[in-house]
């Protein structure tokens, strides 16, 4: 391993001999797509397997991550947040809290780790065009950014409702040279945008790569996105050893599709002393349609090409979802998370809109870091969890993104527009 945690030559976990079916995570995952996409997925699988064994691929990616994305991102101590937790905790309790600062990556979140890697793959496959789905617009912006950097045409599908709520990201994508298609079917949100992107891909696979934004979808996407995001975990491991001379005792990350969580968890999966926590969006209540707690409330089913947990009604119709954070507002979840839930390796919890909003303010005012609303769900969980841990222990929060995109929404939710938002 090099200084910034990137392996010099990667170990192909993709074809691990323990895993009978490489398209599956236990019972979950697989390839449930129309015939027309099978060829493209097989081509992608081969291209990734080749790239995985090719030092030049990792060298180019490493160089891009260093000089363009700004990696490694820091692991920094959250001293005032830790003091706050200790002031409320019992004697001797209150773990030291550390922040893995993905908010400092170019474009403000972890998403760029994946899009740079996938655009490099697209170039290896000699595709001249990329497409993407986007919810809040963060993945769309990260894809448009990578496409601009490498000179590929880029088209992004976004629900019309999301495009209205996140106008600034629509403008940003267009400024970066991407074409944005507003999707007016269904609930006009991420699920519908994903359907449209898949439809586009069916008729354009010859010259087009579909840059999926999370560890979801058919094989090989969940594996590719996890591997590209695992830089977060590898850096965190090296930085933990340097900063506090041991592994973290707990790691907390928010889960939408699950890519920032998978990225930081993967490296620690075999380190049993490290407890892993994934936090889903509890929205406004546990009623169907008012949350996005797929693993907590959903059931196994098929969505967007993979068998995983899905929020669905008794007839298998995908449910409406709600979260104050657009990035967690998705009725599915990555199949590997379904597997980690089943095996018990990762503990999945739920935090509501209100709890996320409180944590958003606490992080802003105790550390001077305005987090993304998605991340605020992980922060809410981490604050309570740290209070139950011993003082000698260390807890890492994956600070998946910065909250600039959310300030207006938070001000609105707190009824603070026109006043100081506190």
Active site residues: 111, 133, 400
* Token digits of residue 183: 């999707």
In the complex with ligand PLP, the residue whose CB is nearer, 40 or 255, is 255
Q: Which position among 254, 264, 295, 369 is part of the footprint of ligand PLP (CB under 6 A)? A: 254
Three-point CA angle 127, 211, 328, nearest 5°: 175
Q: Does residue 280 interact with ligand PLP by CB under 6 A?
A: no
Q: Which position among 73, 236, 375, 394 is part of the footprint of ligand PLP (CB under 6 A)? A: 375
180 membership: H or E segment, kind and range: strand 179-183
Q: Does residue 24 interact with ligand PLP by CB under 6 A?
A: no
In the complex with ligand PLP, the residue whose CB is nearer, 120 or 326, is 326
Q: Which position among 40, 255, 357, 379 is part of the footprint of ligand PLP (CB under 6 A)? A: 255
Q: Which position among 29, 72, 140, 256 is part of the footprint of ligand PLP (CB under 6 A)? A: 256
Alpha-carbon Rg for the chain in angstroms: 20
In the complex with ligand PLP, the residue whose CB is nearer, 238 or 327, is 327
Q: Does residue 194 interact with ligand PLP by CB under 6 A?
A: no
Query: CA–CA separation, 300 vs 375, rounded Å?
Result: 26
Q: Does residue 401 interact with ligand PLP by CB under 6 A?
A: yes
In the complex with ligand PLP, the residue whose CB is nearer, 260 or 266, is 260
**SS3 of residue 157 by DSSP:** strand
Q: Does residue 189 interact with ligand PLP by CB under 6 A?
A: no
Q: Which position among 137, 327, 332, 335 is part of the footprint of ligand PLP (CB under 6 A)? A: 327
Q: Does residue 111 interact with ligand PLP by CB under 6 A?
A: yes
Closest separation in Å from C-beta 54 to ligand PLP: 26
For residue 138, which phi and psi values (nearest 5 degrees)? -70, -45
C-alpha atoms less than 13 angstroms from C-alpha of 255 in its C-beta half-sphere: 38
Q: Which position among 6, 372, 382, 389 is part of the footprint of ligand PLP (CB under 6 A)? A: 372
Which among 176, 175, 173, 256 has a CA at the least distance from the CA of 213? Answer: 256
Stretch that binds ligand PLP, among 69-77, 82-90, 249-257, 304-312 (CB under 6 A): 249-257
72 upstream amide cis, omega within 30 of 0 = yes
Q: Please enumerate in sequence order all residues whose Cβ is within 8 A of that of 356, keeping only pairs 6 or more positions apart, or say none.
A: 281, 324, 325, 373, 376, 377, 379, 380
* Region label for 202, one of left (φ > 0), alpha (ψ between -120 and 50) or beta (otherwise): alpha
Query: CA–CA separation, 271 vs 275, rounded Å?
Result: 9
In the complex with ligand PLP, the residue whose CB is nearer, 210 or 393, is 210
The site for ligand PLP (CB under 6 A) is made up of 109, 111, 138, 214, 254-261, 327-328, 372, 374-375, 400-401
């Amino acid at each position: 391993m090099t200084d910034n945690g990137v392996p010099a030559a990667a170990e192909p976990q993709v074809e691990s001999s323990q895993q009978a079916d490489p398209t599956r995570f236990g019972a979950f995952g697989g390839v449930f797509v129309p015939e027309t996409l099978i060829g493209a997925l097989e081509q992608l699988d081969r291209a990734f397997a080749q790239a995985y064994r090719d030092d030049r691929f990792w060298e180019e990616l490493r160089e891009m991550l260093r000089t363009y994305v700004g990696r490694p991102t820091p692991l920094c101590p959250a001293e005032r947040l830790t003091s706050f937790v200790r002031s409320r905790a019992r004697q001797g309790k209150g773990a030291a809290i550390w922040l893995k600062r993905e908010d400092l990556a170019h474009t403000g979140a972890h998403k760029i780790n994946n899009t740079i890697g996938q655009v490099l793959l697209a170039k290896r496959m000699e595709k001249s065009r990329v497409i993407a789905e986007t919810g809040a617009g963060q993945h769309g912006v990260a894809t448009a950014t990578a496409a601009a950097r490498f000179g590929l045409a880029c088209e992004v599908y976004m629900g019309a409702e999301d495009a209205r709520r996140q106008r600034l990201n629509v403008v940003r994508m267009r400024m970066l040279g991407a074409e944005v298609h507003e999707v007016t079917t269904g609930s006009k949100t991420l699920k519908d945008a994903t359907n449209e992107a898949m439809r586009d891909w069916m008729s354009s696979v010859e010259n087009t790569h579909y840059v999926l934004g999370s560890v979801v979808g058919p094989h090989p996407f969940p594996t590719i996105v996890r591997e590209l995001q695992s830089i977060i975990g590898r850096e965190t491991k090296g930085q933990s050893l340097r900063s506090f001379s041991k592994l973290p005792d707990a790691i907390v990350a928010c889960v939408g599709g699950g890519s920032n969580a998978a990225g930081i968890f993967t490296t620690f999966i075999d380190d049993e002393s490290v407890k892993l926590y994934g936090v889903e969006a509890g929205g406004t209540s546990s009623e169907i349609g008012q949350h996005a707690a797929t693993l907590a409330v959903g059931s196994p089913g098929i969505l967007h090409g993979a068998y995983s947990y899905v929020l669905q009604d008794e007839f298998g119709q995908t449910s409406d979802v709600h979260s104050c954070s657009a990035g967690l507002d998705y009725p599915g979840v990555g199949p590997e998370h379904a597997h980690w839930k089943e095996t018990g390796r990762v503990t999945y919890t739920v935090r509501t809109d209100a709890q996320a909003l409180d944590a958003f303010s606490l992080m802003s005012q105790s550390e001077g870091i305005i987090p993304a609303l998605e991340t605020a769900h992980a922060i809410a969980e981490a604050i309570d969890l740290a209070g139950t841990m011993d003082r000698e222990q260390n807890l890492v929060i994956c600070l998946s993104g910065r909250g600039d995109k959310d300030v207006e929404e938070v001000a609105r939710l707190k009824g603070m527009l026109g006043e100081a938002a506190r």
